[in-house]
């Protein structure tokens, strides 16, 4: 009877340890403040967010996935000649250890090309970000007006 009690106790403790480890793992990379610029069906828009790396190792954003658009790409903005802004696809974005990388207007963003349906202000949506170490992370995003964000 005592052995059984000890076994139950061990099972219980190992359960706690596993739960703790999972928790630590999932909190190494955090996606915060995710929002999508309001747009209509067929148009292009972008997803913005902050990636917080809580670990001592760099991680790399490799891709983004979303059901919202026909094509989803990670983009960066760059300065063209005549001070014009252009944007282009990037294959990865490194998130240095203990730091935050902001995906924001006129900077890094996830491009949503050809929306499958209208996005309305206040609507909640979701996208998946794929990291080399952290794996696939879901980001809950709110649809917002660009003007609203700029005045903030
Ligand atoms: Cu873009």
Tell how far the Cα of 74 is from the centroid of ligand 1, in angstroms. Answer: 7
Question: What sign does the dihedral 93-147-31-124 (CA atoms) show?
Answer: negative
The answer on pLDDT for 85 being more than 80 is yes
The answer on pLDDT for 26 being more than 50 is no
* Exposure of 130 in the CB half-sphere (CA atoms within 13 A): 10
Tell how far the Cα of 110 is from the centroid of ligand 1, in angstroms. Answer: 7
Is the Cβ–Cβ distance between 141 and 97 less than 8 Å?
A: no
**What is the helix (H) or strand (E) element at residue 71, kind and residue range?**
strand 69-79
pTM: predicted TM-score of the whole model, two decimal places = 0.79
Tell how far the Cα of 99 is from the centroid of ligand 1, in angstroms. Answer: 23
Please, what are the domains in the chain? 29-150 (2.60.40.1890)
Query: At 146, is the pLDDT very low, low, confident or very high (cuts 50, 70, 90)?
Result: confident
Tell how far the Cα of 150 is from the centroid of ligand 1, in angstroms. Answer: 18
Tell how far the Cα of 26 is from the centroid of ligand 1, in angstroms. Answer: 28
């Amino acid at each position: 009877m005592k052995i059984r009690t000890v076994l139950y106790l061990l099972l219980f403790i190992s359960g706690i340890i596993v739960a703790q480890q999972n928790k630590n793992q999932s909190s190494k990379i955090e996606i915060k403040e995710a929002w999508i610029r309001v747009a209509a069906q067929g148009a292009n828009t972008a997803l913005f967010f902050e990636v917080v790396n809580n670990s001592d190792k760099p991680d790399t954003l490799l891709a983004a996935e979303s059901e919202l658009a026909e094509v989803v790409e990670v983009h960066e903005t760059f300065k063209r000649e005549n001070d014009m802004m252009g944007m282009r696809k990037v294959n990865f974005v490194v998130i240095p250890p203990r730091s935050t990388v902001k995906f924001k207007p006129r900077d890094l963003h996830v491009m949503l090309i050809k929306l499958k349906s209208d996005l309305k202000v206040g609507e909640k949506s979701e996208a998946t970000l794929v990291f080399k170490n952290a794996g696939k992370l879901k980001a809950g995003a709110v649809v917002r007006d660009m003007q609203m964000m700029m005045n903030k």
